[in-house]
Amino acid sequence: MAAVRAEVAKAVVGQDSAVSGLLVALLCGGHVLMEGVPGTAKTLLVRTLAASLSVDARRVQFTPDLMPGDITGSMVIDNTRGELRFREGPVFTNLLLADEINRTPPKTQAALLEAMEEGQVSVDGVSRPLPRPFLVAATQNPIEYEGTYPLPEAQLDRFLLKVVLPIPGRPDEVEILNRHASGFDPRDVTAAGVRAVASGADIAAGQAAVQRVQVSPDISGYIVDIARATRESPSLSLGVSPRGATALLRAARAWAWLTGRDFVTPDDVKSLARATLAHRLALRPEAELEGVDVMQVLSSALDSVPVPR
């Protein structure tokens, strides 16, 4: 996966946390929600990742008039045979870029739920499996921007990670401009020298290796205690569910493997906790009025749980 990271760096400056998040999700068979203001390389990052992998990739631009069938596929009439047949939608791919997912209404957003959770699509009473590996990399603008719809809690819970892409620092921004001045075209990442360095078999081998990463009972208990601490917070109406706790376990194992270890440490858990858990939490209205931030509550929960030795 170091080779994939090196290829991505040929087109994307900085954003190391987002790159790590995508690699962790790929190794876990999970999905990533990327949030940032327009122009922070969300789409470029996913397109570059796709170019560095020998897998099928497709992009869907989410718009207010997008229908569920435009994503999953639908039954159409085959004029040559005079019968209905299923026409696959863009979700039948290995890496799906769901661009600006919060610009489409919840009904269409929900079309991805079964695909993300079960790895299949059900149309006209028939379940159709999706290719493996399958990763949804969704981008969204902050909800304060006009023309956006908040993602339902059920869908947010299907994302393994949520990563926020910040405005780059001055040195990175200067490097971005220098690359553009030298002729870099973000619409053509292959011209930047990005090439496929990992295949579907490589990804499957990495996923199998992650499954062999050891998790001690103390680490499992540590993760459970973090989840329970969020449920007991007076500032939250929704804490971390058991699904969220298992997501943190999966992410920590992948991060341990990426950093060259075959066992999970408390630092692995803490490193992934915010990206894995924050989007699963909901503040109470009174806490929002008081200006409480989800990250503050999660940090307090993490600080309140004893770290295993």
Query: What is the tens place of the pLDDT at every residue in 149-161?
Result: 777 777 788 899 9
144 phi, psi to nearest 5 deg = -70, -20
52 has pLDDT over 80 = yes
pTM score of the predicted model: 0.85
Report the range of poorest mean pLDDT among 33-37, 103-107, 201-205, 276-280: 103-107
Question: Percent of the chain, pLDDT > 90?
Answer: 30
pLDDT of residue 222: 96
pLDDT of residue 142: 74
242 has pLDDT over 80 = yes
117 has pLDDT over 70 = yes
Report the range of poorest mean pLDDT among 186-195, 215-224, 263-272: 186-195
Query: Are 141 and 147 in contact, with CB atoms under 8 Å apart?
Result: no
pLDDT of residue 216: 95
73 has pLDDT over 80 = yes
User: CATH 3.40.50.300 region(s) of the chain?
Assistant: 2-199
CATH of domain 212-304: 1.10.8.80
What is the tens place of the pLDDT at every residue in 15-49? 788 888 899 999 988 999 988 887 788 888 888 88
pLDDT-based confidence at residue 143 (cuts at 50, 70, 90): low
Query: Are 72 and 89 in contact, with CB atoms under 8 Å apart?
Result: yes
pLDDT of residue 147: 62
Helix (H, G, I), strand (E, B) or coil at 274: helix
Q: Which residues pair with 129 in a beta bridge?
A: 120
Query: Are 297 and 236 in contact, with CB atoms under 8 Å apart?
Result: yes
- The whole-number average pLDDT for the span 87-116 is 85
Residue from 45, 43, 40, 39 nearest 9 by CA: 45
Give the whole-angstrom CA distance, residue 119 versus residue 126.
14
199 phi, psi to nearest 5 deg = -105, 175
User: CATH 1.10.8.80 region(s) of the chain?
Assistant: 212-304
272 has pLDDT over 70 = yes
63 has pLDDT over 90 = no
pLDDT-based confidence at residue 144 (cuts at 50, 70, 90): low
Looking only at the bridges linking them, the beta strands covering 161-164 and 135-140 are unpaired
Asked if the peptide bond before residue 133 counts as cis, ω within 30 degrees of 0, the response is: yes
83 has pLDDT over 90 = no
Residue from 162, 161, 131, 163 nearest 54 by CA: 131
pLDDT-based confidence at residue 11 (cuts at 50, 70, 90): confident
Superfamily of domain 2-199: P-loop containing nucleotide triphosphate hydrolases (3.40.50.300)
Question: Percent of the chain, pLDDT > 70?
Answer: 98
269 has pLDDT over 90 = yes
